[in-house]
Structure 1
């Protein structure tokens, strides 16, 4: 993701590489903040609702990017995407541990997606442009939202008998 963003900010938006680095720093910092917010939300309202908040926030901003992907919109939206995805990632990792406690397959699949995604994104950006790329990202966000919404109902609900708290909500 970062090389594509750097190229986009520098070549398409006409900003310096330093400006591109600042944009990525804002995205990364917002992601770290999102991790903390996601943890707080998880503790207060549970994993499912927290994940839905992160996915919906990210998806809404991606819809905005389809129509407004110039400067400074891109910077603002990419920062919000960092926050939204930051909320989702730690909760997704917790879900992966519940779904497949031995690890392996779920983590390998996630890593494969993180590897293949930027390659396909670069190809789409080269051959179709950024607007279709953002539309594809919206599609995958909707797919993530629907998958999370329907799959969550099948997760086991484990309870700690001492504290009577739900581990996965």
Structure 2
């Protein structure tokens, strides 16, 4: 498990140098419109979705280690080429290639995490999420200073991180024996399917994850431009993500301890997250100065801490053994779809209405889909989160 966590830390640190600047880089450095930037983010997410599905299929059917190494190698090669070719449209193409590899590798790694039998799945995913956000803190703290040296340095450091991760994968990431046994049994035609009631709840949860990321993607795209229009500098925008990571790093261990002491129900954490996301998104209507954005980010981050590591654990608890990879792939794909649709949809709403209309829509969307999930849980699961007979 410690190599899994170290890999998550390294990947997150490298990625956090790049993704907060993607929209700004295309808009301010490459002089592309917000529509073009949103379209690139859309195709980024689509390739991530395809990669996630493929990663899940690979995990359920074999040759896991070979394709994991190949996908990480693809990511490392993409970022290496960005060092030399980061003009338009090479930047967009290589970014999309990187995301395709990321979809495969992140799904396989998440699926491997479900195979750790020594720890409760919620603890495993909480710790992975914790380490990812330690990386977010480190990466977003560095990005404002690294970019002042040169934009090229962002790509160099990112490549170095991927190279280290590739070495860790090569040396330490192996498929558990019980998963290899599953592949052998599947070749003989032996397989178990996820019950229909469980699948209904899973897809309702994934729909909520999608709705949340439609709103959350605004922070990573359109909000950077909105804050710039209000006279807030890029360094302050980047600092918001540092604040986001710090809150997660401080709060996540407390939630882990609370979970261990009181065995918190996964559904209750998701329900509270719905309230926090709805409130956080709607609070942006009144954000006109930097402290208001900090407050909104803090509220949204609390919702993130409760729900983002809970979704994969919740889905894992309901999915059958032979379909772990499939559903972990969907856990990666659905929020990616939200990040694909979000920037484009946000741009359309802003262009035709206003930023306030965008924030109202994202809040209402989360409330509606969250209500559907609650209904599905009540109909199909009992008080212990087990499938009703």
Take 1:143 and 1:38, find their aligned partners in 2: how far apart are those partners? 26
Distance change in 2, residues 1:40/1:16 (3 Å): same
Match of 1:70 in 2: 288
Q: 2:226 is matched with which residue?
A: 8
In angstroms, what is the RMSD of aligned CA positions? 2.8
Q: Please report the TM-score for the alignment, with normalisation by the length of structure 2.
A: 0.37
Aligned residue among 275, 284, 287 for 1:56 = 275
Aligned residues: 160
Tell whether 2:368 aligns with 1:143.
Answer: yes
| CA radius of gyration, larger in | 2
Answer yes or no: is the 8 Å Cα contact 1:31–1:84 preserved in 2: no
C-alpha distance in 2 between matches for 1:154 and 1:37:
32
The separation in 2 between residues aligned to 1:33 and 1:147, in whole angstroms, is 32
Residue from 299, 303, 308 that aligns with 1:80: 299
- 8 Å CA contact 1:61–1:77 kept in 2: the answer is yes
Q: CA deviation at 1:95?
A: 2.4
Residues 46-55 or 98-107, more deviating: 98-107
Q: Does 1:133 align with 2:351?
A: no
Residue 36 of structure 1 and its aligned partner are, at CA, apart by 4.5
| The one of 246, 249, 260 aligned to 1:29 | 246
Out of 341, 344, 361, the residue aligned to residue 116 of structure 1 is 341
Query: Is the alpha carbon distance of 1:69 and 1:98 closer, same or farther for their aligned partners in structure 2, counting shifts above 3 Å?
Result: same
5+ residue gaps in structure 2? Answer: 1-216
Residues 16 and 89 of structure 1: CA distance in aligned 2, closer, same or farther (over 3 Å): same
Gaps of 5+ in 1: 159-165
User: Who is 2:76 aligned against?
Assistant: none
Structure 2 CA distance for aligned equivalents of residues 167 and 70 of structure 1: 42
**TM-score normalised per structure 1:** 0.77
Please state how far the C-alpha of 1:88 moved relative to its aligned partner: 0.9
Q: Is 1:20 paired with 2:237?
A: yes
SS in 2 for 1:104: helix
Give the SS at the match of 1:14.
coil
1:88 and 1:129 mapped to 2: Cα distance? 29
Q: Is the 8 A contact 1:35 1:90 kept in 2?
A: no
User: How far 1:57 sits from its partner (Å)?
Assistant: 1.6
Q: Deviations over 1:30-69 (max 9, x none)?
A: 3455654554555433111111112112212223223x12
What SS does the corresponding residue of 2:231 show, helix, strand or coil? coil
Counterparts of 1:15 and 1:98, CA distance in 2: 43
